[in-house]
Amino acid sequence: MKLIVGLGNPGKKYEWSRHNLGFMVIDTLADQYGLTWKKNQVHHGWISRGRLGAQLCQLFKPAMYMNRSGQAVGSLRRYLGLELFDLLVICDDLNLDFGQIRIRPTGSDGGHNGLDSVIRHLGSKDFGRLRIGIGAPSPGQDPADFVLSEFYSGERKELGHLCDEAATCCVAWLSQGMGKTMNRFNQRKKKEKGIRDKEKDKGKRKKENE
């Protein structure tokens, strides 16, 4: 049994925010394999269980806000009796360009409140994490406001492809292990210019021509 967790904030208010990218990816994964979600009051989250390829896996979305999500993750992990290497946590990352994905077997929280909570409640940072880039806030913009904002129109057009790629990365982790998955997905080259930068450039050129 493996456990894949998508981090996000519950509620319609946050449904399409950058901080909910972990929820979006794990929903994509469940849809691809025809899995359904059930609310679990004991472990404070939504659970979906089934086979992803040959591997029996449990998907989980904590129903607690991001800074408390580790409580739910720790509860379910203890109940399932899983080792830390059987766990993969999916989250957004403002330290990566939009569209970049990075999978690692360990690491710090990187300033992410959800990862910080998971680390504290697991008592270890040695668990797999799939970080998905959402880009950085504009100069002077509060990072807390940025992560709770919705994606730009150009980014939204790429969101489906990004979630599909991240879901494929999760399945590769299940079937091939961490090492081969890192070699495959962490080598993705950066785009010359991010979508958000292109939109800013268009706006700047428009003003110059007015």
Q: Which tens digit of pLDDT belongs to each residue from 75-103?
A: 999 999 999 999 999 999 999 999 999 99
19 an active-site residue?
yes
Q: How confident is the model at residue 188 (pLDDT cuts 50, 70, 90)?
A: low
What pLDDT, on a 0 to 100 scale, did the predictor assign at position 203? 47
CA distances from 69 to 6, 10, 100 (A): 10, 10, 24
Vertex 141: Cα angle to 136 and 147 (nearest 5): 55
**Cα 158 to Cα 186: distance, rounded to the nearest angstrom:** 19
What pLDDT was estimated at residue 193? 46
Portion of the chain with pLDDT greater than 90, in percent: 87
CA distances from 2 to 16, 137, 163, 192 (A): 27, 34, 20, 36
pLDDT tens-digit map of 64-78: 999 999 999 999 999
Of 201, 189, 202, 187, which is closest to residue 97 (Cα–Cα)?
189
pLDDT at 149 over 80: yes
Please state the rounded mean pLDDT for residues 118-128: 97
Residue 180 pLDDT level (bands cut at 50, 70, 90): very high
Q: Which is nearest to 7 in space by CA: 99, 129, 104?
A: 129
Q: Residue 123 above 50 pLDDT?
A: yes
- Note the pTM of the prediction, 2 decimals: 0.89
pLDDT of res. 148: 96
Q: Residue 57: pLDDT above 70?
A: yes
Quick check: 160 pLDDT over 60?
Answer: yes
Query: Residue 101: in which H helix or E strand, if any?
Result: strand 101-104
Q: Tell me the domain boundaries of the chain.
A: 2-209
Question: What pLDDT score was predicted for residue 198?
Answer: 54
Model confidence at 196, pLDDT cuts 50, 70, 90, reads low
Dmax over Cα atoms in the chain, in whole Å?
64
Out of 3.90.1300.10, 3.40.50.1470, 3.60.20.10, 3.40.1310.30, select the CATH number for domain 2-209. 3.40.50.1470
What pLDDT sits at residue 187? 76
